[in-house]
Structure 1
Amino acid sequence: MKKLLPTSTAGSLPKPSWLAQPEKLWSPWKLEGDQLIEGKQDALRVSLQEQSVAGIDIVSDGEQSRQHFVTTFIEHLEGVDFEKRETVKIRDRYDASVPTVVGPVVRKKPVFVEDAKFLRQQTDQPIKWALPGPMTMIDTLYDNHYKSREKLAWEFAKILNQEALELEAAGVDIIQFDEPAFNVFFDEVNEWGIATLERAIEGLKCETAVHICYGYGIQANTDWKKTLGSEWRQYEEAFPKLQKSSIDIISLECHNSHVPMDLLKLIRGKKVMVGAIDVANHQIETPEEVADTLRKALQFVDADKLYPCTNCGMAPLPRSVARGKLNALTAGAAIVRNELLK
C-alpha cells in the first residue's frame, strides 16, 4: 500500500564543511578533480543518511552535487561564457554578476546523470532529482546571443528534456523543476513559461514536479517578502494554467508565508508538495505546527495527493537546524497521518 502523506524536501540540504563553506549560497568547492567527485559522493551519502534517519519518504541527493541550483547546470553547457560577466537584476529583486550567453546553448554531455545513478545505488526509496526550470535559468544569465528571453527559454527546455530523459533512465522517480521565477514574471509564465516547462517534460513517464517558492532565506528575499503585504497571491497567476498542464506535482511554500490556503483550490486534482517547514529562519518548528499547516492544506487538497515538504532548500542553514526541521516535518506528518487513518 502506498504511504499516505509521503514526506520529502524541496531541494538542498546543508553541505558538510569539508566540501564547501557552510551556511552560504554559491559557496565554492573546497576540493578539486577526483577528490571533488569523491567528496560530493561522500556528502551525498551523509545527506541521504540524514534524510533516512529523519524518516523522509522521498529522498534526494540534498543537492550535494550542485554548487548552485541554477548555475551548476549551466556550467556544463556550451554557449555560455563564465569569464564574461554582466550585472543583471535577478527576479526583479537584487543585482548579481552572471555569465553571458555568447552563442547557441548546447548540452554536449549529461550533467547530473552519474550523480543520480550513484544515488539510485544507495537507496531503495523513491528518489527525486531537481533541475532548474527554463524561466529561472534565463533569469540568471545575460543573453548576448538570442536577444529574446522566450527563444532562450525554448532552447533550455530542449536541453532540460534531454537531461530529464536520461535521469529517468538512471532510475529517478520524480524530476522536479525549480521555477521561483513563476512568482515574479506573470505575463511570461502564461504566455510561454508553462509551455516551455511542458517541453522540458516531453516524453517522460516518471512523475514530474514544479517547485515555485518565494526564495531562500537570504536578505534580498526577506526584504522583498516584506513588500508583499498581508496576503501573497502570486500563485493565483500561474495556478489556473498549471492545473491544466501535464505536470504531476506542484511544490509550494505555505508555512510562515502569507499565501492564502484557499488558492490551492486552483490546482485541485494535482498532487501538492505543501511546504510546512520555513527555511528562512533557524527556529525549529514543533511537530504540531507542521501538523497545523497540513490540516489547513487538507481543506483544499485530497489526502492522497498531499506531500508534506519544506518551503524551499535548506543549504544556507546550520546542519543541526536542518536536521531538527527534517525531524519536525516527519513527526508533524505522522500526527496528521494517524488522524486520517483513524
Structure 2
Amino acid sequence: MKTLLPTSTAGSLPKPSWLAEPERLWSPWRLDGIELVAGKQDALRVALQEQRSAGLDIVSDGEQTRQHFVTTFIESLSGVDFEKRETVRIRNRYDASVPTVVGPVSRQKSVFVDDAKFMRQQTDQPIKWALPGPMTMVDTLYDDYYKNRNTLAWEFAKALNEEARELEAAGVDIIQFDEPAFNVFFEEVNEWGIACLERAIEGLKCETAVHICYGYGIKANTDWKKTLGTEWRQYEETFPSLQKSNIDIISLECHNGRVPFEVLELVRGKKVMVGAIDVATDTIETPEEVAATLRHALKYVDADKLYPCTNCGMAPLSRELARGKMRALSEGAEIVRKELTA
C-alpha cells in the first residue's frame, strides 16, 4: 500500500566530523585516497541510518559524497577549468570565485552512480537523488566559451540526462534537480530554463522533481530574504509553466517563510514536496508546528500528492539539530496522516 504523506529531506545532511568540518557549508575533506572512498561510504550508511531512525519514508544520500551541490558534478565534465577562476555574482546575491568554462562541455564518466548502487544495496526504501539543475549550474560558473547562458545550459542538460538515466538504472526512484536559480531569473526560467530541465529528464521512467527554494540558512540568503517584502510571491512567476511541464514533483519552501500558501494552487495536479521544516533556524519545530504547515498546504494540494519535506538542505546544521528536525517532520506528518484516515 502506498504511504500517505511520504516524508523526505530536500537534500543535504550534516557530514560526520571525521569526514569534513562540521557545521560548515562546502568544507574540504579530512581524508584522501582509499580512506576518503571508505569514509564516504561510511557516511552514507550513517546518513541512511539517521533518516531511518527519524522515520523518513523516502531516503537520500544526504549529499555525503559531494563537497558542493553544484560543482562536484561539474568537476567530472570536460571543458571546465577549475584552476582558472573568476569572481562572479551568484544568483544576484553574493560574489564567489568560480571555475571557468574554456571549451565544449560534456560528461566523461558517471559521477554518483557508484554511490547510488552502494546505497541501493543498503536499503529497500525509495531513494531520492539530487542533481544540480542546468540553470543553477550556469549561474555557478564563468562562461568564457559559449558566452550564452541558454546554450551552456542545454549542454549541461544533456550531461545531466546521461547521469540521470544511469542513476535510474542503479535503482534510484526519484531524481531531483536543484534549481534555486528559478527563484531569481524568472524570464529565463520561462524562456529556456524549464525546456532545459525537460531535456535533462528526457526518457526517464522514474519520478522526477525540481527543488526551488530560497537557499541554505547562510547569511547571504537570509539577508536577501529581508529584501523580499512581506510576501514572497516569486513562485507565481514560474509555477504556471512548471504546472504544464513533464516534471512530476515540485519541491518548495513553506514553513517560517513568507510564501503565501495559495501559490500552491498554481501547481494543482502535480505532486508537491512541501517544506515544513525551516533550515535557517536552530530551533527544532514541534510535530504540531509541522502538522499545522501541512494542514494549511492541504487546502491547495490533494492529500495523495503532498510530500512533507524540509525547506532546503541541512548541511550547515549540527547533526543533533538535523536529527531533531527530521524526527519532527516524521511525527508531524503522522499526526496529519491519522487525521486524514480517521
Taking structure 1 as the reference length, the TM-score comes to 1.00
Deviation string for 1:200-229 (max 9, x for gaps)? 000000000000000000000000000001
SS at match of 1:223: helix
Task: Indicate the residue corresponding to 2:15 in structure 1.
Answer: 15
Structure 1 residues 9-158: aligned runs within 5 Å:
9-158=9-158
Matches within 5 A, 1:249-264: 249-264=249-264
**CA distance in structure 1 between the partners assigned to 2:252 and 2:317 by the alignment:** 19
Q: Tell me which residue corresponds to 1:267.
A: 267
Residue by residue over 1:153-208, the C-alpha shift from the partner in whole angstroms, topping out at 9 and shown as x without a partner, is: 00000000000000000000000000000000000000000000000000000000
Helix, strand or coil at the partner of 2:12:
coil
Distance 1:196 1:184 in 2: 16
Separation in structure 2 between the aligned mates of residue 67 and residue 96 of structure 1, nearest angstrom = 16
Give the corresponding residue for 2:173.
Answer: 173
Question: Secondary structure of the equivalent of 2:8?
Answer: coil
Counterpart secondary structure, 2:333: helix
Partner Cα distance (1:241, 1:107) in 2: 28
Shift of 1:33: 1.0
Gapped regions of structure 2 (runs ≥ 5): none
* Alignment match, 1:316: 316
Letter in 2 for 1:163: E
Q: Give CA deviations for 1:253-280 in whole Å, capped at 9, x if unaligned.
A: 0000100000000000000000000000
Report the residue type matching 2:106 in the other structure: V
- Matched residues in 2 for 1:323 and 1:172: separation? 23
| Deviation of the 1:137 alpha carbon | 0.2
Q: Partners in 2 of 1:106 and 1:304 — Cα distance?
A: 39
Counterpart-to-counterpart distance in 2, 1:79 and 1:18: 33
Deviations 1:63-87 (A, max 9, x none): 1011110010001111100010000
Q: Which letter does structure 2 place at the counterpart of 1:268? A: R
Structure 1 moving runs of 4+ over 3 Å: none
Q: Which residue of 2 aligns with 1:232?
A: 232
**Aligned-partner SS, 2:160:** helix
How far apart in 2 are the matches of 1:119 and 1:234?
Answer: 35
2:208 maps to which residue?
208
CA distance in 1, matches of 2:205, 2:240: 23
- What is the DSSP-based 3-state SS (H/G/I as helix, E as strand, rest coil) of the residue aligned with 1:159? helix
Q: Distance in 2 between matches of 1:26 and 1:338?
A: 39
Rounded Cα–Cα distance in structure 2 between residues aligned with 1:37 and 1:330: 31
Partner of 2:242: 242
For 1:151 and 1:20, locate their aligned partners in 2 and report how far apart those are by CA, in whole Å. 35
Q: CA deviation at 1:106?
A: 1.2
Taking the aligned partners of 1:32 and 1:150, their CA distance within structure 2 comes to: 36
Q: What secondary structure sits across from 1:103 in the alignment?
A: strand
In structure 2, what residue type is equivalent to 1:212? I
Correspondence list, 1:295-310, <5 A:
295-310=295-310
- Please, what is the CA RMSD of the aligned residues? 0.4
Return the alpha-carbon distance in structure 1 between the equivalents of residues 299 and 318 of structure 2.
33
Q: How much identity, in percent, do the aligned residues show? A: 81
Give the distance between the partners of 2:56 and 2:37, measured in 1 at CA.
25
Asked if 1:328 is matched to 2:308, the reply is no
Q: 1:282 aligned to 2:282?
A: yes
Partner residue, 2:197:
197
Distance in 2 of aligned mates of 1:129 and 1:171? 10
SS of 1:36's equivalent in the other structure is helix
The 1-side partners of 2:33 and 2:143 are apart by: 30
SS at match of 2:208: strand
